[in-house]
């Protein structure tokens, strides 16, 4: 029987794209996250995915793997699969459902988003966080959590590594809402409808909204989802406004002959000096180009909102799209969570944590006031 020479192990490894090990790790983790969610429905799968990423990064056995062989794929998931998930997220939003709330409710929800955005940014700056970190935290808290952070980071050309802390904070505070808000339902004497509107207006991630609102019944859940998706649809105009502002600043600095060298803030609340943007390996000269007014994936998000609003897609297609979105965002969130080192977080994130908790309280109060006004006419 003829014998064939075995292929060298190094040659086989070379044929495997470097992102594959990390992607497979993330997919496996998402499977575990959905298993945990099935066993404990109150825990959203997306939140569990972030927590698994945190554990993987900080446990002795797995920390070496996610920092080494899996890192390339996990970074790819955290950046590119996050953007793909944002596109598919648009299929959850129907313009007809949003308009069904009435113009008064739409104005109230828009007001909550804008005031919470400005308030969170101001609070973060009061705690001496950098502009980038403050902007990402404000975006995630006021709109739709990690998805909004990814969109804003893209249009503002913020480094991927600087999104890790804001994502960790928005996940932490959203999880806090799951435990705290239901405890206030009876002491505040809220009807299920008011509680649902409050949840939709103040909780960050869609999955966290569902987990919180369902504790008060189907009536609360129905209005919570619509109010939340109204906040989600504001992602596109706010990101577009940020893109216009970024282009204006870059153009103005170019006209004034602003020097590229100097101190550059990063989203982790630290500063780095010298070298210039052109020499920064993380930016690779991206700041020398004008960013798009709206990133391509946000345009895709708007297109998916339009497609959903036509009513052409059957419930089966929408369920399949929701499963794809969960897979994309779950792998992205695991990838982001796996980049968080607890020691570093405790060292550099104490002020950020205090700022996040203060912002969470602000948004909870704003959302409660809006919920009472939204439901009162009914």
DSSP string, 183-209: GGTTTTT--HHHHHHHHHHH-SSHHHH
User: Does the pLDDT at position 260 exceed 50?
Assistant: no
Among 10-19, 235-244, 263-272, name the one with the lowest average pLDDT. Answer: 263-272
- CA angle in degrees (0–180, nearest 5) for 174-327-116: 25
pLDDT tens for residues 68-122? 999 999 999 999 999 999 999 999 999 998 989 899 999 999 999 999 999 999 9
Cα 151 to Cα 7, 60, 93, 272, 303: the distances in Å are 44, 33, 17, 24, 15
pLDDT tens for residues 280-321? 434 444 445 676 777 889 899 999 999 999 999 999 999 999
pTM: 0.81
pLDDT tens for residues 153-207? 988 989 888 998 999 899 889 889 998 999 999 999 999 999 999 999 999 988 8
pLDDT recorded at residue 250: 82
pLDDT tens for residues 46-75? 989 999 999 999 998 899 999 999 999 999
């Amino acid at each position: 029987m003829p014998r064939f020479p075995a292929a060298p192990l190094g040659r086989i490894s070379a044929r495997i794209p470097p992102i594959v090990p990390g992607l497979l790790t993330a997919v496996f983790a998402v499977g575990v996250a959905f298993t945990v969610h099935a066993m404990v429905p109150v825990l959203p799968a997306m939140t569990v995915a972030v927590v698994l990423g945190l554990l993987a990064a900080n446990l002795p056995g797995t920390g070496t793997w996610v920092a080494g062989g899996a890192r390339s794929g996990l970074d790819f998931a955290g950046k590119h699969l996050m953007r793909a998930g944002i596109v598919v997220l648009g299929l959850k939003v129907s313009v007809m459902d949003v308009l069904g709330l009435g113009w008064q409710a739409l104005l109230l929800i828009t007001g909550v988003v804008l005031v919470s955005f400005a308030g969170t940014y101001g609070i973060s700056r009061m705690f001496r966080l950098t502009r980038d970190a403050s902007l990402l935290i404000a975006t995630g808290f006021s709109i739709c959590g990690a998805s909004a952070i990814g969109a804003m980071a893209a249009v503002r050309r913020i480094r991927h590594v600087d999104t890790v802390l804001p994502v960790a904070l928005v996940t932490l505070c959203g999880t806090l809402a799951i435990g705290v808000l239901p405890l206030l339902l009876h002491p505040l004497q809220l009807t299920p409808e008011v509680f649902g509107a409050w949840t939709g207006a103040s909780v960050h991630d869609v999955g966290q909204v569902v987990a919180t609102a369902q504790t008060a019944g189907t009536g609360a859940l129905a209005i919570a989802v619509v109010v939340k998706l109204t906040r989600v649809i504001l992602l596109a105009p706010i990101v577009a406004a940020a893109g216009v502002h970024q282009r204006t600043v870059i153009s103005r600095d170019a006209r004034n002959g602003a020097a590229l060298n100097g101190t550059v803030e990063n989203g982790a609340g630290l500063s780095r000096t010298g070298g210039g943007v052109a020499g920064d390996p993380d930016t690779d000269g991206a700041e020398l180009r004008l960013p798009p007014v709206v990133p391509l994936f946000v345009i895709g998000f708007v297109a998916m909102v339009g497609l959903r609003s036509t009513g052409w897609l059957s419930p089966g297609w929408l369920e399949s799209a929701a499963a794809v979105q969960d897979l994309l965002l779950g792998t992205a969130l695991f990838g982001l969570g796996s980049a968080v080192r607890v020691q570093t977080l405790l060292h550099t994130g104490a002020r950020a944590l205090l700022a996040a908790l203060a912002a969470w309280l602000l948004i909870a109060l704003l959302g409660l006031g809006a919920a009472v006004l939204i439901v009162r006419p009914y």
